[in-house]
């Protein structure tokens, strides 16, 4: 299985037609060609650009969908939950505390196995007015049955949206799916991309045919029913558990098929660069991986055997793939923008996932956590400092596990 992004000849040979779009527009364009039926919207930046772009497309007659402007994020996620239950292909999105406000509907959507697709532009939780980039808004929902993929580029955010519908609606899965793009760093940054055409999307993504829609002509069906704890509570959760496990094979199939239509071949779960002989590794997700890869490249030029590991999915978490690419590494550092106050060793949410995975190995590398919190933007120099600390950890036992490299004042 490949660990790097490759370009291969697509099925339809024609000159690529580049568009310069930001992440918000790229997501909206993917929703358009996915032929979505129902969109619910409520503004909160940085997500707002996606709903604005969709509204403009529909107003201009570029495609037809029912758009419902909700009175809050809670109502927004309730609308797509119910629309999905009656058989509609749906789209939703949010950011920061708006996502937190919708928690009840988000959780029930997964337990009802409704394949809603949502785009999240990550945002800090919420010192009022702090619209900087953090991951804790999304990661607080990693335990409730949503699939979660994380884009590095505008192109990947566009492509991930199409693949999200394909995976979520597969009858072996039937789970909701978040496509995550880092707020501002991707939502508001424009780059050239090659869009998926309507013809490619139609061939890749068949119409959604729910097996158990709520419709009188289909007979009695119940979803999100009120149940006593002793009735089907454990069985309901086991269904979601099994569907999440099945999602791994469906994700592999979907990305392989996506490549045949578009010519863009992605490694399904992990992008590993320079890891073949690496003694050290920087592990992360999202838009800042481009800067982290620059750091690794510069250190490689100085003879340091260091590589990068980028996670493309948080749920399902690709533990087996991670263990495969990190084998033989002496020390690694997690670069993350999420927190978990009071956690073991004061480390972040992503660190916990990676540390748990590494516990199953016999040769666990030294693992440090580098936290970039509160929306303060890091620089390449911060990632270089992290790499230097990883290398030093092999020779001198670190005093602690977690470091706040953008903090002003003493990191106590």
Task: Report the pLDDT value the prediction gives residue 6, as an integer from 0 to 100.
Answer: 72
* Spatial contact of 200 and 261, defined as CB atoms under 8 Å apart: yes
Model's pTM, two decimal places? 0.94
Name the least confident of 3-17, 139-153, 339-353: 3-17
pLDDT above 80: residue 9: no
pLDDT of residue 225: 66
- Domains belonging to the chain, first-starting first, are 19-262 (3.40.50.970), 270-404 (3.40.50.920)
Quick check: 374 pLDDT over 90? yes
Contacts of residue 74, Cβ cutoff 8 Å, sequence gap at least 6: 101, 102, 104, 105
Locate tokens 């503004």: which residue? Answer: 43
206, pLDDT greater than 80: yes
Q: What single string gives the DSSP state of each residue in 69-138? A: E-SSHHHHHHHHHHHHHTT--EEEEE-HHHHHHTHHHHHHHHHTT---EEEEE-----STT-----SHHH
CA-based torsion, 364, 358, 373, 157: positive or negative: positive
According to the model, what pLDDT value does residue 226 have?
A: 72
pLDDT beyond 90 at 10: no
Mean per-residue pLDDT, 50-55: 97
Percent of the chain clearing pLDDT 90 (strictly above): 86
CA atoms of 22 and 155, how far apart (whole Å): 9
Residue 287: what pLDDT?
98
Give CA–CA dist 346/9, Å, rounded.
Answer: 47
pLDDT tens column, 221-232: 877 667 777 788
Tell me whether residue 140 is exposed, middle or buried, using C-beta atoms within 10 angstroms of its C-beta: 0 to 12, 13 to 18, 19 or more. middle
Q: Is the pLDDT at 250 greater than 90, yes or no?
A: yes
Distance, in Å, from the CA atom of 103 to the CA atom of 116, rounded to the nearest integer, reads 14
pLDDT in tens, 104-138: 999 999 999 999 999 999 999 977 888 899 999 99
pLDDT value for 381: 97
pLDDT in tens, 24-46: 999 999 999 999 999 999 999 99
Supply the pLDDT for residue 218.
87
Dist CA 230 CA 314 (whole Å) = 31
Q: Alpha carbon 402 to chain centroid distance?
A: 23
């Amino acid at each position: 299985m490949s660990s790097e992004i490759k370009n291969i000849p697509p099925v339809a040979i024609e000159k690529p037609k580049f568009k310069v779009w930001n992440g918000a527009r790229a997501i909206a364009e993917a929703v358009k060609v996915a032929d979505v039926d129902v969109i619910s919207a409520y503004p909160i930046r940085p997500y707002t650009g996606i709903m604005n772009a969709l509204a403009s497309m529909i107003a201009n007659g570029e495609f037809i969908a029912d758009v419902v402007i909700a009175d809050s994020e809670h109502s927004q996620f309730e609308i797509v939950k119910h629309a999905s239950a009656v058989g509609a292909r749906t789209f939703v999105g949010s950011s920061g505390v708006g996502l937190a406000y919708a928690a009840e509907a988000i959780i029930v959507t997964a337990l009802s196995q409704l394949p809603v697709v949502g785009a999240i532009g990550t945002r800090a939780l919420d010192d009022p007015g702090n619209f900087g980039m953090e991951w804790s808004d999304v990661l607080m929902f990693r335990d409730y049955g949503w699939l979660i993929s994380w884009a590095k580029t505008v192109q990947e955010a566009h492509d991930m949206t199409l693949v999200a519908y394909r995976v979520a609606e597969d009858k072996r899965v039937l789970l909701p799916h978040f496509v995550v793009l880092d707020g501002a760093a991707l939502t508001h940054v424009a780059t050239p991309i090659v869009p998926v055409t309507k013809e490619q999307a139609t061939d890749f993504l068949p119409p959604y045919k729910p097996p158990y829609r709520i419709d009188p002509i289909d007979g009695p069906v119940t979803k999100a029913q009120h149940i006593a704890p002793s009735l089907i509570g454990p069985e309901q959760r086991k269904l979601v558990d099994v569907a999440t496990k099945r999602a791994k094979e469906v994700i592999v199939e979907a990305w392989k098929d996506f490549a045949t239509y578009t010519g863009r071949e992605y490694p399904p779960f992990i992008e590993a660069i320079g890891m073949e002989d690496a003694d050290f590794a920087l592990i992360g997700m999202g838009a800042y991986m481009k800067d982290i890869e620059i750091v690794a490249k510069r250190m490689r030029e100085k003879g340091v055997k260091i590589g990068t590991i980028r996670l493309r999915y948080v749920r399902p978490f690709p533990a087996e793939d991670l263990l495969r690419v990190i084998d033989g590494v002496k020390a690694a550092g997690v670069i993350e923008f999420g927190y978990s106050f009071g956690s073991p060793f004061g480390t972040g949410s992503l660190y916990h996932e990676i540390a748990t995975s590494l516990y199953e190995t016999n040769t666990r590398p030294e693992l440090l956590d580098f936290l970039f919190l509160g929306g303060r933007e890091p620089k390449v120099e911060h990632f270089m400092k992290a790499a230097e600390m990883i290398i030093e950890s092999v020779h001198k036992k670190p005093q602690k596990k977690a470091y706040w490299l953008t903090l002003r004042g003493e990191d106590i």
